[in-house]
Amino acid sequence: MRQTGLIALCFVAGVLGGMVGHDLTSSAPHDVVRPLVMTAAAVNAPDLGRVSSSKTSSPVIAAVRKVGPAVVNIDTVVMRRTSMFGFADPFADLFGSDPFSRVVPSKGQGSGFIIDAVSGYVLTNDHVVHDAITGNGKIKVSLPNKQTFEATVVGSDPQYDIAVLKIDGKNLPSVKLSSSDSLVIGETAIAIGNPFGFRNTVTVGVISALDRSLTANDGGRLDGLIQTDAAINPGNSGGPLCDIDGNVVGINAAIISGAEGLGFAIGSSSIKGVVDELIKYHHVRHGWTGMTFWDISQRLADRLSLPGTDGALVADVYRGSPADEAGIKPGDVVLQSGANKITCVDDMQSVLRQARAGDHLPLTLFRKGKKVNIKIQLVEAPEQ
């Protein structure tokens, strides 16, 4: 489902992060946002471990008791320089400074959950902590039992919208990522997080759809999404989506602006490998072919004497890249990669999103009226 230009996709970074806090903090006095946080913080968080014996038979309660203690609140603070009058100094480029600027804290808030009690690894969305990472800010992790830790970043990846943090603590609760492959549309979905600063909030719905793909306003795309009508709001980002048995099947990540009952989580099966890469290498070793692609229109197919519009047309090949070394040329059409049929550029990109440096990628090409089978070994994507 490609929604570019039709919907406004909002990554729910939290009540004080990106969606609300960045706008208010950078354009208005800090006190404007303070009451919202204080109101949320003043609400007593539920004791996830205190359940009357008459209600322990509820499967939702059992799931919350299993997962809830490991769900954390994530607060970020980044110091930003902004004009006292709410606009940039027009002479800053000439004189190198803004005499009317001041440094103010830009706060963000989201959710996460502990996936390794021994190592203290915390899983969340990249967009929850991205500003803190790029702006050399601070990240604080708070548990439901009121333990609070300064967190360090193990690794993050904006393409998958995943980040792994590390805290140093003892006797930490934790949960494991389960498989999302066996989910069924209509089964119970439970979201736990900290929407708008209201910590340890539980919402319940169903799995509404599977394998969704959405494109954000910044052009980033997420595939393999779980759609749910369990209420997801700013601040839920990074929190777990669970099934009725308390298995973590996704990480809440996105909403559609103005819609109701349309929340999206990244399926756990699609990010397990990403998490392992971040922990081991501190970044994701994205596989790179060294070629760019075009979709094939009927006009283009007629011009190039192609049999149809299926496939991804190779538009350019970088010299010295894996594609170049394998003999791929502009004008070749990728029809298949392994068991994956390629009908358009999106199909090819989906294959490459799952590929890693060092992988051998089998490709079936259409070239000068014939099918050609080749295999290329991917390398890590260059920075430029």
Q: Which two tokens stand for residue 358?
A: 């060092």
Per DSSP, the three-state class of 4 is coil
Residue appearing with tokens 């501190």? 282
From 307, 282, 254, 326, select the one nearest 7 (Cα to Cα): 254
Instruction: Go through the chain and tell me how many residues it has.
Output: 384
- CA 373 to CA 250: how far, in whole Å? 36
Is 127 known to be catalytic?
yes
Q: What are phi and psi of 225, to 5 degrees?
A: -80, 145
Q: Which of 75, 126, 131, 161 is catalytic?
A: 161
Q: Which of 22, 106, 127, 337 is catalytic?
A: 127
Is 161 known to be catalytic?
yes
Q: Give me the DSSP letters along 254-306.
A: EEETT-SS-EEEEEHHHHHHHHHHHHHHSS--BEE-SEEEE---HHHHHHTT-
Is 211 known to be catalytic?
no
Number of Cβ within 10 Å of residue 102's Cβ equals: 10
On whether the CB atoms of residues 84 and 100 are closer than 8 A, the answer is yes
From 347, 348, 295, select the one nearest 304 (Cα to Cα): 295
From 356, 337, 344, 365, select the one nearest 287 (Cα to Cα): 356
Q: Which of 106, 180, 237, 337 is catalytic?
A: 237
- DSSP label at 191? E
On whether the CB atoms of residues 359 and 346 are closer than 8 A, the answer is no
Catalytic residues: 127, 161, 237
